[in-house]
Amino acid sequence: MDHTALSLIELGAVFFVLGALGRLAGKIGLSPIPLYLLGGLCFGSGGLIPLTDIGGFTHLASEIGVVLLLLLLGLEYSAAELFTGLRRSWTAGLLDIVLNAAPGAAVALLLGWGPVGAMVMAGVTYISSSGIVAKVLGDLGRLGNRETPVVLSILVFEDLVMALYLPILTAVLGGVSLLGGLEAVGISLLVITVVLVIALKFGRYVSAAVDSPDREVFLLKVLGAALLVAGIASAMQVSAAVGAFLLGIAISGSTAENATHLLEPLRDLFAAVFFVVFGLNTNPASIPPVLGWAVVLAVVTTATKVGTGWWAARRQGIGKMGRARAGAALVARGEFSIVIAGLAVTAGAVTGELAALATAYVLLMAILGPTAARVVEPIARALQRKSATKTAPAEAN
């Protein structure tokens, strides 16, 4: 068999298996991300059926996957929403950073991965999966709940932090000096500010530039613009993903809606490839040694996210049950934790163990998150009853 034939067969098999896994995930009400990672682990080096002929395609496809993930994230928000979200949730957002980045950084330092590893793991444990959270809120019929805006504005804050964090991380991973790092941060801050201002004042023109009534033309223009901006951003050391995110924010209104409809299936396809490639590059044998730490991180960061949500909801005058729901909703980690770990692994600046830990952690959290959101109400109610029976005899005395 020639190389092309073999590549096509392997690629077809991978997509087909991913489709089956995605269906399974939908049936049991979970995010497909952990299953994609598992799929990648099976097909990768050291897995059950190593596939080696599709590296060229999957490498580029996974890059496009990250660009599309961030582009669609940007399309979800308008610049005005970002500003109001920022104003409303910055205190909760800061608490979120401190509580949830610290455990990851601490574990990385304990394992001797140095400051770079600490920075990577801090990002991995910090960022909730807005994809999983939004889907779970919709599935559970909680869009009308009072605590939901609190949860969503924390997500907005996190996504904005990503726009700052990713370029810094890219600079650090590139091993630039302190001065060079500061320069990168300065450039990215400047670029982000300029783009936000452009999006706020001239979003119409950006939208008009990519808009077209013809689906085919529109698709090519949007995708072309995204890859161009991502490439230029990458060349400027600002990280391709952030470029795409900012372009997404600049596109607004009906253009953004149409672009979302058009690009969603493409994103799902390429993002799936991205998760698989991440799994492919992780040797399953490297997971058991770090599994203990992954469990520790999962337990600790579940508690810290619940704490963040509880605190943020209490500040908005939400009742106890709503505070518990807000906390549990934020628990899920997913795509961005893998994006961060993926960036670090590709740059070769961290040990392979970090990829293994990140994989195991996201596997746990992507399952734990939706589960926590579902079981939080019965658990909170049981706890309330328990404390009620405890205080009742005391009152009798």
Partner 1 sequence: MNVEVTPLPGIGVRKDFSTRTGRRIGVVSQRDGHTELIVSKADDADACAASIPLTADEAGTLANLLGAPQLVAQLTEEHQDLPGISTKQLPIKPSGPFDGRTLGDTAMRTRTGVSVVAVARAGQVHPSPTPDFALTGGDLLVAVGTSEGLEAAAKILKYG
Q: Output 7 or 153, the one with its CB closest to partner 1.
A: 153
Is 128 within 8 Å of 332 (Cβ atoms)? yes
Minimum gap (Å) between residue 203 Cβ and partner 1 = 15
Q: What does the block give as tokens for 265?
A: 């299936």
Angle made by CA atoms 184, 189, 195, in degrees to the nearest 5: 125
Tell me if 33 sits within 8 A of 22, measured CB to CB. Answer: no
**Identity of the residue, 144 or 393, whose beta carbon is nearer to partner 1 in the bound complex:** 144
Candidates 29, 319, 348, 352: give the one binding partner 1 (CB under 8 A): 319
Asked if 143 is part of the footprint of partner 1 (rule: CB under 8 A), the reply reads yes
Nearer to partner 1, 153 or 301 (CB): 153
Q: Are 353 and 286 in contact (CB under 8 A)?
A: yes
Instruction: Name the residue type at position 150.
Output: V
- Tell me which residues in 238-297 interact with partner 1 (CB under 8 A): 257
Of the candidates 243, 227, 368, the one whose C-alpha atom is nearest the C-alpha of residue 295 is: 368
Tally of residues, the chain: 397
For residue 37, what is the enclosing H or E element?
helix 33-43
Distance CA 93, CA 160 (A): 10
Cβ-proximal residues to 131 (8 Å cutoff; 6+ apart), any chain: 31, 334, 335
Residue pair 159/189 in contact by the 8 Å Cβ criterion: no
Question: In angstroms, rounded to a whole number, what is the distance separating the alpha carbons of residues 312 and 95?
Answer: 9
- The residue from 8, 102, 111, 134 that contacts partner 1 (CB under 8 A) is 134
Provide the minimum distance between the beta carbon of 195 and partner 1 in the complex, in angstroms, as a whole number: 18
Question: With binding defined as CB under 8 A, does residue 146 bind partner 1?
Answer: yes
Among 31, 58, 125, 153, binds partner 1 (CB under 8 A): 153
Question: Which residue's structure tokens are 């996190």?
Answer: 158
Q: Please state the closest distance from residue 256 (CB atom) to partner 1, in A.
A: 9
Question: Which 73-92 residues touch partner 1, going by CB under 8 A?
Answer: 76-77, 81-82, 84-85
Of the residues 155, 195, 199, 298, which one makes contact with partner 1 according to CB under 8 A: 155
CA distance 73 to 333: 15
Nearest distance, CB of residue 193 and partner 1, angstroms:
20
Beta carbon nearer to partner 1, 257 or 295: 257
Rounded to whole angstroms, the Cα distance separating 256 from 338 reads 26
Which range binds partner 1 by CB under 8 A, 146-154, 289-297, 346-354, 388-396? 146-154
**145 scored as a contact of partner 1 (CB under 8 A):** yes
Eight-state DSSP code of residue 286: G
Q: How far is the CB of 124 from partner 1 (least distance, A)?
A: 22
Query: Does residue 219 bind partner 1 (CB under 8 A)?
Result: no
Query: Taking CB under 8 A as the rule, does residue 149 contact partner 1?
Result: yes
Amino acid at 342: G
Q: Which stretch binds partner 1 (CB under 8 A): 30-38, 151-159, 338-346, 350-358?
A: 151-159
Query: In whole angstroms, how close is the CB of 294 to partner 1 at the nearest point?
Result: 29
The site for partner 1 (CB under 8 A) is made up of 76-77, 81-82, 84-85, 130, 134, 138, 141-149, 152-153, 155-156, 257, 318-319, 321-322, 325
